Amino acid sequence: MVSKSYSNLLDLASGDLPSPSFTRMTRQQLPRIMTFADKVSDTDTYDHDSPSPSSDQHDRLIIVANQLPIRASRKTDGSKGWDFTLDENSLVIQLKNGLGDEDIDVIYVGCLSVDISPSEQDEVSQMLLETFKCVPTFFPPGLYTRFYHGFCKQQLWPLFHYMLPLSPDLGGRFSRSLWQAYVSVNKIFADRIMEVINPEEDFVWIHDYHLMVLPTFLRKRFNRVKLGFFLHSPFPSSEIYKTLPVRDEILRALLNSDLIGFHTFDYARHFMSCCSRMLGIPYESKRGYISLEYYGRTVSIKILPVGIHMKRLQSVLNLPETESKVSDLIKQFKDQGKTMLLGVDDMDIFKGISLKLLAMEQLLIQHPEWQGKIVLVQIANPARGTGNDVKEVKAETYSTVKRINETFGKPGYEPIILIDKPVTFYERVAYYVVAECCLVTAVRDGMNLIPYEYVISRQGNDRLDKILGLDSSSLKKSMLVVSEFIGCSPSLSGAIRVNPWNIDSVADAMDSALEMSQPEKQMRHEKHYRYVSTHDVGYWARSFLQDLDRTCKDHVRKRCWGIGFGLSFRVVALDPNFRKLSMEHIVSSYKRTTTRAILLDYDGTLMPQSSIDKSPSSKTIEMLNTLCRDKNNMVFIVSARSRSTLGEWFASCEKLGLAAEHGCFLRLKRDDEWETCVQVEDSGWQQNAHPIMKLYTETTDGSFIEQKDTSMVWCYEDADPDFGSCQAKELLDHLESVLTNEPVTVKRGQSCVEVKPQAVSKGLVAKRLLTTMQEKGMTPDFVLCIGDDRSDEDMFEVITTSVASNECIAPNAEVFACTVGNKPSKAKYYLDDTVEIARMMQGLAYVSEQSFNVVLASYLLWCYILSINSNYSQGMVMLFESGTKLPKFDYRRIVRLVIIPLRQKQVTYSYIQNRGGAWHCSF
């Protein structure tokens, strides 16, 4: 059953587009798939839990791709219906076969390549499910065309291949209606998945850019779903990607996955840079794993190129048809004294076919000795998309082939043979076997497995060796000329890498491949074969699923709930012992306690990091003064800033305690002298540190140095985030090596690198404050400590330790260690940002203000009544003149506070009220 909450996502993401109607399989039609019997709720709740699966259930994987691995055709015997067969060329089928684990049950969700009429959809769905474990998705007329040929092929695919829509002819400008179609199709996929998923047990693996917002729909419905996503296309740099109007929606949708896979580090780096620059989400590497923290969830990044299906390719090499084709090709080329070069590409604008042809022409011009001896066979597979660009590529390819053949051809010899019709897999493998060199000159390609297939085919087998006239003991050889802009290039270190745009260099590479010595060709082939044979599609799938399982292991240990609307939806995941600080909870504790210690960080806590003016606002000053007026409170600002800055900013706060430079200097009240808490050694190290920081400041635009009495800070919050982070890492290493023998520590903070004395920490301030209060007989029964960065973790640790040991803190004290933002911390509580911090502190200040007002009013009321003649007469007296400047107070609370002492004096009153701006008491 589909959750009604999806309407919010779709409506907000796609305007007023109604949810498409389609035929659904009922639960009764899926007896083999559904593993829980309870009805799924139509309403959104805190979390969506399913009954525990039976103990004998195997692991199950739901593979979701745009196309099902199914070939469909109408029955040819005259009867109605369809014939379906598995497509062995499909990656998702090869993925399952490569896993080779019978205990893994795989369900496929995707589209069919044919249109199924609504009247046949139920029957087809049941047949595919029972026969092939496939769940097809069906769409209203025209929707899929706008989704695939519209948004996917006209906008996402060109952009992801670094092609900007500079004119309407280049992919077309962004279309909101096509985006709506994209979201609608992703929602239909989600609905179909929900009909077959056991969210507590199943793993879901989504493939490629067609379904990039699908993770949001699934995460919305099942907060703990185990979800992986692999992108098979390139991911562009942030400068390219940021031009997409829906850039944030897609990034946030991908981050709703648990594991995101890429073919190369470049693609992963571009994605993480986009997350950092556009969403402000940094990434980190721990023990070899790269990850991002997204609202308490760990999103892992997987970098591993996909491999080929070794067993299938080897089985094709053993086919009699392959051997026959190899014999034909040998007669056509080798026996005629010709050497074959091979290119296999789709007919599209990014495969660089024309560049390859021009390089061949250049080779024949520069090296006339090759004329009549080499032939380039170019297999041009049909284009997957449509449009003017495909027509232009075809026209340019045909004209270039014609010109080159007319220039260099002669009777019985054509330097280029263009095969522009579908070629069977065994025929393609036969070309691989015979080709002396394989050329891949794509200008941008996600992976491209042609070089892998070529290497394995050149390894051959015994029967093919006989046909080729090779000795069984002879070493095999192969040569690859590959573009440096394709995904497989980094893994083929023995290939000759080229810039396909540089025609001369490609021609030189082709000549080098032909002239290279046999032993070197053999060494390069052996290196490639060893990698490709051990990193096949099974290795790739197992590695991905192992990382997905590792990433999802802590799902059951966290509390999860969803927040946000539309495609901005995300799940907040928290450790059970780490929770958001409730306003009601802390106010209640604040009211019932009598001695309170409040420690507050400043930058990033009371003041947003992004603020340009860092000085406190009048509201902040008023709030702090209100808290300090409460005799039960001891309030401290614990900051990394200098004492002169803090003293100037908080000059109007008489009773506020200040700790400057991480606690190196301390002042309990405004009129006290600054104390030096830690004995600071000679600061001669600054003479060594300052020139280094100055060098990095000059080379990092937007950075600056903050000089303090005992420390130095290099800040880069206004610099480019990626470059600033890189420079900070280098500066950290540089300073550590230079200052290794100095009594200082070098630490990296929030957009800064700081050098400070070793013994200084905010934890010492917390310890000092708690000890001072205890010595004054004010052992606190309420402790509030708030901070946002690593330096504040020292305070949290001291407070936690004090609670555990009952040291300096009253037994059963109310203790609140709170960090800003949901992130790993020693604190038990968190608040989202400085806005929530300010709101909470204002609430506590209000409580203190009300308590102060009630005490003041009660005192004045008592004084007035005592001044009345002992012979009380019944009537009404005016307590306070109209216009008297007194704080606001609640007269009901005054009544409650003075009732007992009034009765002790035999005074009976009826009420206290405000009439015409003056307070009156009736007695």
Q: Residues 333, 205: one domain?
A: no
- Answer for the pair 154, 145: CB distance below 8 angstroms, yes or no: no
Q: Which of residues 648 and 882 earns the better pLDDT score?
A: 648
Going by pLDDT thresholds of 50, 70 and 90, the confidence category of residue 99 is confident
How many CA atoms does the CB half-sphere of 633 hold within 13 Å? 26
Decide: helix, strand or coil at residue 889: coil
Check whether residue 341 and residue 295 sit in a common domain: no
Rounded to an integer, the average pLDDT of 785-808 is 84
Cβ distance 103 to 59 under 8 Å?
Answer: yes
The letter for the amino acid at 311 is K
Inform me whether the pLDDT recorded for 205 exceeds 80: yes
651 shares a domain with 710: no
* Residue 340, domain CATH: 3.40.50.2000
> Whole-angstrom Cα distance, residue 758 to residue 761?
8
In this predicted structure, what is the pLDDT of residue 7?
Answer: 32
pLDDT the model gives residue 53: 37
The answer on 810 and 820 residing in a single domain is yes
The verdict on residue 108 lying in a domain is: yes
The pLDDT, as a whole number, for residue 888 is 46
Residues 646 and 516 grouped into a single domain: no
- CA-CA distance, 405 to 391, in Å (whole number)? 21
Between 72 and 574, residue with greater pLDDT: 72
Count of domains forming the chain: 4
Say yes or no to pLDDT of 449 above 80. Answer: yes
- What is the pLDDT confidence band of residue 856, given thresholds at 50, 70 and 90? low
User: Does pLDDT of 881 surpass 60?
Assistant: no
Question: What is the DSSP-derived secondary structure letter of residue 778?
Answer: -
Mean predicted confidence (pLDDT) in 646-671: 89
The token duo for 860 is 């004045």
pLDDT over 70 at 25, yes or no = no
- Is residue 224 assigned to a domain? yes
- The DSSP element (H or E) to which 913 belongs, if any, is strand 911-915
Out of 303, 324, 346, pick the residue that ends a domain. 303
**Burial (Cβ within 10 Å: 0-12, 13-18, ≥19) of residue 348:** buried
Greater model confidence, 679 or 811: 811
Residue ranges in 684-833 assigned as alpha helix (H)? 686-699, 721-738, 762-775, 793-805
383 falls within a domain: yes
For the segment 446-462, the average pLDDT, to the nearest whole number, is: 95
Q: How far apart are CA 605 and CA 612, in angstroms?
A: 15
- How many Cβ atoms sit within 10 Å of the Cβ of residue 16? 6
- Would the CA dihedral through 197, 202, 204, 205 be positive or negative? negative
Domain that holds residue 252: 59-141+188-303
Residue 48: predicted pLDDT:
39
d(CA 168, CA 629): 67
Mean pLDDT of 851-877: 50
pLDDT band at 899 (very low <50, low <70, confident <90, very high): very low
Residue ending a domain, choose from 850, 867, 890? 850
The answer for residues whose C-beta is within 8 angstroms of residue 111's C-beta and 6 or more apart is: 66, 67, 68, 136, 137, 139, 144
233 phi and psi, to 5 degrees?
Answer: -110, 170
Q: Would you report the helix, strand and coil content of the chain in percent, each value rounded to 5?
A: 45, 20, 40
Number of H helices, E strands in the chain: 29, 35
Q: 804 and 734 in one domain? A: no
Q: Give residue 682's pLDDT.
A: 64
Considering the domain boundaries, does residue 33 fall inside one? no
> Which tens digits make up the pLDDT trace of 135-191?
999 999 999 999 999 999 989 999 999 998 877 665 668 899 999 999 999 999 999
pLDDT digits (tens, 9 = 90+) for 251-274: 999 999 999 999 999 999 999 999
pLDDT reading at 430 higher than 80: yes
Given this model, what pLDDT does residue 71 score?
93
Both tokens of residue 203?
A: 């793993």
pLDDT(511) > 60: yes
Distance CA 526, CA 534 (A): 12
Domain annotation covers residue 714: yes
786 and 844 both lie in a single domain: yes
Mean pLDDT for 849-866 is: 56
Range in 540-544, 568-572, 764-768, 917-921 with the lowest mean pLDDT: 917-921
pLDDT at residue 855, rounded to an integer:
52
Q: For the whole model, what pTM was predicted?
A: 0.77
Both structure tokens of 290: 């790269």
Average pLDDT, the chain: 84
Residues 637, 646: Cα–Cα separation, whole Å: 9
Report, as an integer, the average pLDDT of 860-881: 46
DSSP track, 151-168: IIIIIIHHHHTT----ST
On whether residue 218 sits in a domain, the answer given is: yes
Q: Are 471 and 407 in a shared domain?
A: yes
Beta bridge partner(s), residue 571: 562
Report the C-alpha gap between 823 and 827 in whole angstroms.
10
Cβ 224 vs Cβ 202: under 8 Å: no
What would the pLDDT profile of 588-638 be if each residue is shown by its tens digit? 999 888 899 999 999 889 988 778 888 999 999 999 999 998 888 999 999
Q: Taking 50 as the threshold, does the pLDDT of residue 28 lie above it?
A: no
Which residues are paired to 135 by β-bridges?
Answer: 109
Lowest mean pLDDT among 611-620, 763-772, 804-813: 804-813
* Residues sharing a CB contact under 8 Å with residue 167, sequence separation 6 or more, in sequence order: none
Residue 441 forms part of a structural domain: yes
**Which of 850, 882, 917 delimits the end of a domain?**
850
Q: Is residue 833 part of a domain?
A: yes
Using alpha carbons, select from 812, 809, 840 the residue that is nearest to residue 600.
840
* Whether residue 765 sits in one domain with residue 752: no
Same domain, 479 and 607: no
Residues 251, 316: one domain? no
- Which domain CATH number covers 794? 3.40.50.1000
Same domain, 672 and 691: no
Residue 710's domain is classified under what CATH number?
A: 3.30.70.1020
